[in-house]
Structure 1
Amino acid sequence: MRLIPPHGALSRPLLRLGTFVFPDWKTVRPTIAYSIRTLLAVGLALFLAFDLQLQTPMSSVTTVLIVANPVVGAMVSKSVWRIFGTIIGATSAIALMALFPQSPVLYFMGLSFIIGLACCVSTLLRFYKAYAAVLTGYTIILISVSAFSEPDHIFMAAMSRLSAVTVGILSTAFVFLLTNISHPEKVIRQIDQVLRNITSHFAQPSDPSWNDATSMPDDAGQPLSFRAMSITSYDQRARLLSQANALVEAIEYAAADNYSVSLRARGLRGGVARLLGLLSAHHPIWQDEPPMTRQARTARHIRQEIMRHFATLPPEDLHLEARDNMRPIRRRIRAAMTELDELGEQTQDLPTIAFIDNERDVLAQLCAALDDFMGPQEHVRAIGLKLYFDWPAALRNGTRGAFVTLLGCMFWYICRWTHGANMLTYLIPASCLLATSPLASRASVMFASGTFAAIPAAFICQTFLLPRIDGYPLLWLSLSLCLLPGIWLQFHPRHAMRGFGYAVFFNAMVQVRNPITYDDLSLMNTWMAFALGVVSIALVFRVILPANHRLDSGRLVASIARATEHLARQPLGQHVEWPVWENLQMQKILRIIQRFSLVSSPGRVYELTDAAFMAVSLGRVLVRLRTLVTSPAIHAEDRERVTQALGAFRYLRSDPALTVQTLRATALTLLSHLERRGMPAHTPTRRIAACLEQASLLIGAIPGFFHRHGPLQMAADMPGANNRLTLPVLSTTGPFGMRTA
């Protein structure tokens, strides 16, 4: 029996311990630099707040901790929207106090309504515009706390709050802008790299790891019952989807920091939307091997060669700023598209024509993305994207914010606790910030744990450090020592919520006034108020108002199905802004992936993602079909047949099989009458038949996704809730809960 472990068993734990105690300098250097800059901004803001004799100097420190960001564009954007939100919140606080100075219950109801409205609006917006909406709401309680006993002082409290926020923002901007060199080309390099990664992925064979990787198992450990890619392929697609989505945020912040980027921001966003749409083509049906025809194999080879050429270009050639180098690339892509058109005319085989049409669409999407990225000098008009407004989630979050506010206010009013307002200064802002998060239940625990850790830190600082110091330098050093753990954690996304809760609310607990006074009873009441707020946050978001991620995912799936049906049934003469439609569906898909992954296994998430991407591909086929039908070469009878086939999409959400049968029958009818048409009508008619065949194939592959009573529209504990999306929905639920065939 061997009692002494091998050398490797001892060395591995020691190596991990050594890495933790003495980490790599390259790894910790960005965190150290961010921490130093943040503490310098804290010192400057605190000094100015004392010098200007502000009533709440720690509010300026809190502002620094909130707006500090290593990305200068993000810091600028958040600072601007924080000032805007503070102004609106201060105005609302004054108006609300003026309306109900002697009516606490009415005041609480008005406050709850405003905060609910702010949470609702913030759910509809993105980035720091959403933060400004939430800030508008909870700024009211932060301003009103000091004026509850004397309502006449509400205006001075609002001005003091606005002054402290402005000092904190200016201090942060001064330090970070002084110690940072702007790199406007960084976002362009990011786009270049993502472009190269995506084209490299599409340049690979249908499934690069098919021969050396197992198929994705289902929940029971069995291979999926429908065509699926390998796990490696799904992982690659997920990484690319994450990279492309991150570009949206990078462009937003770069535009806030650099004027030249802001001029091109619309085109850059449009190009990223095209890349997301390009990734939606990467699903099992598109990955299938081409039909056993020469034209199909040639088409796939042409597409792979274009992608491989694009991915292997030297960095100096594949650069969006090098316009002269990009022109030959785009000419080559357009030449390949023309070659694919000629291949489609050389065959009468319907699956082959459909396959070639799909390959051509991938190249068309890439070419359109390049046109958007190159800017107004190369592209006539950049597309104007729309933001998806998730109204059900917004109304739910608004109700959640209003309920939490009213509950906290009434608890304070009924108990008549002298320091109950301090509980509200934590409960309401924390609830508002968390209410709009799709991961609110999980984030609430991290947020509360960080705040709870700030209570003993505030006790140590207030009891052992502050009474023993004299002068501003020692005050700054003492606060920096206590704030450093929270600042350090904020730099790491995995623990950012803990660090944020610790750093921000540590400032609220430490009673640093101008001048500083000490009141043990007040301190103990404050810490107890925050402890009660921490417990309430966890209780509200984990027990009282938990999120139903499966319900949210099913609702978004139904929204995609309705959008597809509406797209098909629009009049043929009505213009469809395809990139806008596609981007709206991709926004829904990103939300689906984020939420459904919290309540389901990876295999189920992959299946749902495949189905959602197929729905986007179906929309792309419908747009091509609508364009082809309007061609003057199409016979009137054929146009009428296609119009009737598109009308069959009214059964998409009730009987997908009927829609599939109608589309397939129409395609066969068009081909049977093709010889009686003139030669100019042959090519577009064959392509129309191919589009109808593709649409029927995509719908038939995922009937459970489109059906209004499909598996995703059921509660998790209902029979059939875990059925595959490839299975037909054999029965539906009647209006009185009866099951009908």
Structure 2
Amino acid sequence: MRSLVPALTLALTHVTTLTQTRLRDLWSCLWSGKPRRQDHLRWLYAPDLVTFGYALRTTITSLIALGIALWWELGSPQWAALTVWMVAQGTRGKSVAKARWHMFGMVVGTICAVALVAAFPQAPVLFIVALAVGIGLFCFVGTLLPGPATMTNYRIHGMRASGFTYAIIALDGIADPEHIFQIAMARATYIVLGIVLESTVSSLFQFRLGERARDRLTHNFLTAIDGAARALAALLAGDAQVLSKARGLFSTITSLSDQIEFAEVEMGRHHGHEGDHARAALARVAVLLSRGLDMAALMHMPDCVPGDAFHATADRVRAFLLDLPARLEERDIGPTLQRLAALRADCRQAVAESLGTEMGSDTLPPVATDDAATLHHQHQRILHHGLDAMLEDLEQAIIQFEASLHPLPHDHFHYRIKTFRDWQQAVANSLRASVTIFGAGVIWITTGWSDGLLFLMFVSIVCSLFSTLEKPALATQAFLTGAFWAVGAAAVLVLWALAKPTTYEIMALCFSLPMLAGGLAFAYPTIVLAAVSYNLFLPILVGPGNQSRLDEIAFFNTAMPLILALWYAMWTFRLVLPFDTNAMRWQMRTGILKGLRLLARSRTLPTTLYVVERNVDRFVRLLTNTEATPEPVVDAYLKGILSAMSIGLNVIRLRAILARNVLPARSHQVIEEVMGRMAQFSGRYGGHYGRTARSAKLAINRIVGEAGRESNLAVRMEMDRALASLTVISYELDTNQMFFDASSPYLDPVFG
């Protein structure tokens, strides 16, 4: 017996230590906020601490808003709880940004709703037409606002909130037009109450907000530069297709740039221009990747074999790129810029030595070489020119990154968010929303449905929320799924749980678990839209009040219009001006061809940053709309967009060379001929496409022949720059003939 005591003690100690270790690891995992598996209902029973905190905070806030609305004896207190869920986001910056735009949209929508009811109090057809047109106009304006057409673009959300408020006030007020002002003020009170409470409560759970926002800006840039540096290092190692394969790089840069404005909100009113510099740094990373595309073209010029000198320089640059993210993470920026300057000096020195060998100097005569050796030297200079330009863009990105870390006093730098307006899509979104709402109004009037007004309200809400998206039918389908969840949860609350409570505390307790589950589901990307629908419609379906409680008939008369409205909107979105990926791709290609023609002949040229950002926007849009598209077609379009970006950038550089007027007359003339051909570029085989490609090759041959006779050093360097741009244009036109061939609209038959 005594011999068992030490063994039991040792076993107990081991179990205790193991348990402590497991608990410590579990707490560390929860507190770290690292991504966790969320499939198979893990988002519900094993959430991370950040997600649970968001769900608990928002649940408490919505219940407080509901309690205050009941305390004030407002007529429809559920709208206050609903507003909290509409505004609440995972970070403080997103919540504040969304709250501001929601407040703006509420004011606009309230004013327009009062005017609508006042104008058509007893004309139902005109009222429905004006309601449909009004929400269509909100969708039209929202589509044209800056930023991506996603649910996280809170400028667009301002217009969504306008349509949402416009619908609920106007449809409540048309039943009692004499009290429209009181109805509007009541609805506005709910919304303001929800916004103020959510903003106040979320601010209590934030600490070191400005510091964490700056850390996020740093992390964003390091994430982008790490991917870019690895891709460029692989390119210099010989992988010519690495930039075409690395599709996620441009999407990552775009996504990170969209998040900067939320970090600016978190840094507060008195922050400097850190966000502007961070936005410019990410844009420079995109330009850096475009330079990588140029390097890929230059390294694969016909009859061009990179020499030993270029390989030596490229190896040093490659080692620098692989080491760069770690150096920047340590904030070792000064020495990094010095090393970068040394690499650029090596590139320029290699160019100077090549020119000195070929042209001679004051102390050394030129070395006699044959035409092949002269062409080889010229190719090596072009490669070093391209490498130096790539390093220059990298230097500019790091300088902007440093400015975001250490803002300068009295800094007035501003880098605005770019807007690429699609007027055709805006018109389509507006018409789709208007037709859907008008159809719902016609159903209400012709059937005389007693709950038709509620049906029309739900249709109007869905149109306000989703008509600015490219694929509203898919979003509405997810919303319909969430609505079924909400109906199930509300049925339990209305028909069983809330039939008994007589105090607010017990009612809040009954509400807490269903709301908490909805908040946890919000963090799972696969069901996020269904979770939003569940959180929005649950308070409406329960309909808590001081003097009334929903019975079975009232509950089903609310649930049925909701489900039918979402089903109707989903199918109408599929039938009325549905989103067509083929048409989108064809429109994109024709826009690219038109843009190249404008670059060649326009009097005012856009900046290289604009050209890069415009094509990156196309690239990301194409990536997000690839369903049911053959992979070869998607790949051809992605390569074609990158190719068009390279061509556009080099057209701008050639026009800058022409504007400097340093080239000899004949070289100047042949480049002007290339620009003239590009101004008529249509992309058709046997037509202007072939003439444009041939004119680029002819210009290269003439400039190469003339360069050997040029004795002026400055002119020779300018001719090398022109040759580099012409070589890239010629390479891209030859490599992507299939994409630029406008006689094949969709490429699907070609690759299918």
TM category (shorter chain) comes to 0.7 to 0.9
CA distance in 2, matches of 1:190, 1:605: 27
Counterpart of 2:287, as a letter, is G
Match for residue 618 of structure 2?
588
- C-alpha offsets along residues 269-307 of structure 1, whole Å, 9 cap, x if unaligned? 222122223334566981786567675554355345335
Match for residue 412 of structure 1?
444
Residue 633 of structure 1: CA displacement? 3.0
Contact 2:433 2:463 in 1 (8 A): yes
Q: What SS does the corresponding residue of 1:149 show, helix, strand or coil?
A: coil
Match for residue 205 of structure 2?
179
Residue 609 of structure 1: CA displacement? 0.7
Residue 708 of structure 1: CA displacement? 3.2
Tell me whether 1:667 sits opposite 2:700 in the alignment.
yes
Q: What SS does the corresponding residue of 1:169 show, helix, strand or coil?
A: helix
Tell me whether 1:557 sits opposite 2:577 in the alignment.
no
CA distance in 2, matches of 1:71, 1:478: 27
Match for residue 110 of structure 2?
90
**Structure 2: runs of 5+ lacking an equivalent:** 1-35, 148-152, 359-373
Residue 529 of structure 1: CA displacement? 0.9
Contact 1:49 1:57 in 2 (8 A): yes
Match for residue 690 of structure 2?
657
Match for residue 143 of structure 2?
123
More deviation, 304-313/103-112 = 304-313
CA distance in 2, matches of 1:566, 1:300: 38
Residue 616 of structure 1: CA displacement? 0.7
The number of equivalent residue pairs is: 678
Tell me whether 1:432 sits opposite 2:442 in the alignment.
no
> Which of 377, 385, 402 is residue 374 of structure 1 equivalent to?
402
Contact 1:656 1:700 in 2 (8 A): no
The verdict on how the C-alpha distance between 1:519 and 1:697 changes in structure 2, with shifts beyond 3 A counting, is: same
The verdict on how the C-alpha distance between 1:321 and 1:101 changes in structure 2, with shifts beyond 3 A counting, is: farther
The verdict on how the C-alpha distance between 1:689 and 1:445 changes in structure 2, with shifts beyond 3 A counting, is: same
Residue 469 of structure 1: CA displacement? 0.8
Counterpart of 1:523, as a letter, is F
CA distance in 1, matches of 2:254, 2:633: 22
Residue 108 of structure 1: CA displacement? 1.1
Tell me whether 1:695 sits opposite 2:732 in the alignment.
no
- C-alpha offsets along residues 234-260 of structure 1, whole Å, 9 cap, x if unaligned? 66x123233212211220211122136
Tell me whether 1:722 sits opposite 2:742 in the alignment.
no
- C-alpha offsets along residues 506-561 of structure 1, whole Å, 9 cap, x if unaligned? 22222213433445433322122112112212322334443101211221222122
CA distance in 1, matches of 2:325, 2:423: 46
The verdict on how the C-alpha distance between 1:589 and 1:26 changes in structure 2, with shifts beyond 3 A counting, is: same
More deviation, 306-315/156-165 = 306-315
CA distance in 2, matches of 1:599, 1:392: 23
Match for residue 348 of structure 1?
375
The verdict on how the C-alpha distance between 1:337 and 1:65 changes in structure 2, with shifts beyond 3 A counting, is: farther
Residue 408 of structure 1: CA displacement? 0.9
Q: What SS does the corresponding residue of 2:259 show, helix, strand or coil?
A: helix
Q: What SS does the corresponding residue of 1:540 show, helix, strand or coil?
A: helix
Tell me whether 1:625 sits opposite 2:654 in the alignment.
yes
CA distance in 2, matches of 1:159, 1:386: 37
Counterpart of 2:634, as a letter, is V
Match for residue 249 of structure 1?
258
- C-alpha offsets along residues 48-96 of structure 1, whole Å, 9 cap, x if unaligned? 2223333221111111111111111111100000000010000000111
CA distance in 1, matches of 2:161, 2:73: 24
The verdict on how the C-alpha distance between 1:402 and 1:357 changes in structure 2, with shifts beyond 3 A counting, is: farther
CA distance in 1, matches of 2:318, 2:547: 67
> Which of 350, 364, 373 is residue 392 of structure 2 equivalent to?
364
Tell me whether 1:474 sits opposite 2:494 in the alignment.
no
> Which of 541, 563, 572 is residue 509 of structure 1 equivalent to?
541
Residue 707 of structure 1: CA displacement? 3.6
More deviation, 401-410/147-156 = 147-156
Supply the RMSD in Å over aligned alpha carbons.
3.1
CA distance in 2, matches of 1:386, 1:438: 19
CA distance in 2, matches of 1:25, 1:445: 26
Counterpart of 1:51, as a letter, is W
Q: What SS does the corresponding residue of 1:405 show, helix, strand or coil?
A: helix
Tell me whether 1:305 sits opposite 2:331 in the alignment.
no
CA distance in 2, matches of 1:202, 1:173: 44
CA distance in 1, matches of 2:144, 2:47: 36
Q: What SS does the corresponding residue of 1:318 show, helix, strand or coil?
A: helix
TM-score, normalised by the number of residues in structure 1:
0.84
- C-alpha offsets along residues 575-599 of structure 1, whole Å, 9 cap, x if unaligned? 542212221222122112222x123
Contact 1:118 1:136 in 2 (8 A): yes
CA distance in 2, matches of 1:604, 1:284: 23
CA distance in 1, matches of 2:353, 2:597: 31
Contact 1:487 1:503 in 2 (8 A): yes
Contact 1:344 1:356 in 2 (8 A): no
Counterpart of 2:100, as a letter, is V
Contact 2:382 2:724 in 1 (8 A): yes
Match for residue 184 of structure 2?
158
Contact 1:92 1:140 in 2 (8 A): yes
Match for residue 283 of structure 2?
273
Tell me whether 1:78 sits opposite 2:110 in the alignment.
no
CA distance in 2, matches of 1:17, 1:204: 32
Match for residue 679 of structure 1?
712
Contact 2:229 2:321 in 1 (8 A): yes
Counterpart of 1:137, as a letter, is G
CA distance in 2, matches of 1:118, 1:21: 37
Match for residue 102 of structure 1?
122
More deviation, 598-607/457-466 = 598-607
Q: What SS does the corresponding residue of 2:206 show, helix, strand or coil?
A: coil
CA distance in 1, matches of 2:255, 2:428: 27
- C-alpha offsets along residues 677-696 of structure 1, whole Å, 9 cap, x if unaligned? 44232221132133222212
Residue 698 of structure 1: CA displacement? 0.9
Residue 403 of structure 1: CA displacement? 0.7
CA distance in 2, matches of 1:566, 1:469: 70
CA distance in 1, matches of 2:570, 2:41: 33
The verdict on how the C-alpha distance between 1:26 and 1:334 changes in structure 2, with shifts beyond 3 A counting, is: farther
Alignment of 1:232-247 (within 5 A): 237-247=246-256
Contact 1:277 1:586 in 2 (8 A): no
Match for residue 221 of structure 1?
none
Match for residue 225 of structure 1?
none
The verdict on how the C-alpha distance between 1:148 and 1:517 changes in structure 2, with shifts beyond 3 A counting, is: farther
Relative contact order, higher structure (CA 8 A, sep 6+): 2
The verdict on how the C-alpha distance between 1:341 and 1:45 changes in structure 2, with shifts beyond 3 A counting, is: farther
CA distance in 1, matches of 2:388, 2:586: 32
Counterpart of 2:323, as a letter, is T
Contact 1:564 1:619 in 2 (8 A): yes
Match for residue 10 of structure 2?
none
CA distance in 2, matches of 1:614, 1:344: 30
CA distance in 1, matches of 2:429, 2:99: 24
**Structure 1: runs of 5+ lacking an equivalent:** 1-15, 211-227, 713-719, 726-741
Residue 723 of structure 1: CA displacement? 1.8
Match for residue 455 of structure 1?
487
More deviation, 660-669/274-283 = 274-283
- C-alpha offsets along residues 14-69 of structure 1, whole Å, 9 cap, x if unaligned? xx999958789985333222211111111221222223333221111111111111
